[in-house]
Chains A and B, each alone.
Chain A
């Protein structure tokens, strides 16, 4: 009689159904944790990508602005580049301020690359932005990269 009671109690506490329910709960919880951590990582990665793309876009604007030829009385020609100004750019100092490791500026025309200057070493991720500008009346492509 006593043995029967013990057996039934044993069966009650460690049934296959309870074990299966426990497995399902653990699996559901692990899935939830995995999903949540990936959602967070994905949001972080997306915002980092957007931020870096916009920094490279702002960098290209800044370079165009710095390299624009100054005419008489300080008036600048619209997007007319002065290569000597690009040559004088302190990319090393800018990298230090921005806490980045790589910067490159290049100007390309119909015949290929006209000017190129870089500082630092390109890592796995480099974000580039290109824009059109003028050089001696010819349309050229100025590309700015940051990594």
Chain B
């Protein structure tokens, strides 16, 4: 009788311990996941900010052109901003109207009829 009572208590204690452990693990996972998301969107914002800078600077001096490849962003439908492919909630306004080029990169629509 005494033996059974002890093991029941031990079981209860183990259950409580495991519950707390799983709660902590889940919570830590959630915090880690939020941190990961936050760092990812920061990195995307960094990348987009520099891509927007290169688009605007190049477009400013050349008006109508296809700006190189290697951009990870996609232009919005109205061409007023670029959006991250990985994280669509991150976007950057661009001062020159842009559209996507089929072979990668962007067309600046200062003079869209004559892309270089």
Q: Given the complex, which residues of B lie within 8 Å of A59, measured CB to CB?
A: 95
A43 within 8 Å of B by Cβ? yes
Contact (Cβ within 8 A) B57 A61: yes
Partner of B34, one of A9, A40, A51, A99: A40
Q: Given the complex, which residues of A lie within 8 Å of B92, measured CB to CB?
A: 51, 55
Contact (Cβ within 8 A) B95 A58: yes
> What total of chain B residues lie within 8 Å of the partner, measured CB to CB?
30
Contacts of B33-80 to chain A: CB distance below 8 A:
34-35, 38-39, 41-43, 45-46, 48-50, 52-53, 56-57, 60, 80
Contact (Cβ within 8 A) B31 A13: no
Interface of A is mostly: helix
A32 to B24, CA, bound (A): 11
Contact (Cβ within 8 A) A33 B93: no
Q: Given the complex, which residues of B lie within 8 Å of A54, measured CB to CB?
A: 49-50, 52-53
A33 to B24, CA, bound (A): 11
A48 to B45, CA, bound (A): 8
Taking the nearest CB of chain B, how far is it from the CB of A94, in angstroms?
A: 8
Taking the nearest CB of chain B, how far is it from the CB of A103, in angstroms?
A: 12
Per-residue interface assignment for chain B, residues 14 to 32, with 1 indicating a CB less than 8 Å from any chain A CB and 0 otherwise: 0000000000100110011
Q: Given the complex, which residues of B lie within 8 Å of A61, measured CB to CB?
A: 56-57, 60, 95
| Residue of chain B at shortest CB distance from A61 | B60
Taking the nearest CB of chain B, how far is it from the CB of A130, in angstroms?
A: 16
Q: A54-B53, A98-B93, A99-B93 are in contact. Are A40 and B80 (CB under 8 A)?
A: no
Contact (Cβ within 8 A) B35 A65: no
Contact (Cβ within 8 A) B39 A43: yes
| Residue of chain B at shortest CB distance from A2 | B2
- 15 examples of A-B residue contacts, CB within 8 angstroms: A29-B27, A33-B31, A36-B32, A39-B38, A44-B42, A47-B43, A50-B45, A50-B49, A51-B48, A54-B53, A58-B95, A59-B95, A62-B56, A62-B95, A97-B93
B residues bordering A, Cβ < 8 Å?
9, 13, 24, 27-28, 31-32, 34-35, 38-39, 41-43, 45-46, 48-50, 52-53, 56-57, 60, 80, 92-96
Q: Which 7 A-B pairs have the closest CB atoms?
A: A40-B38, A47-B42, A43-B42, A47-B45, A62-B95, A51-B49, A58-B56
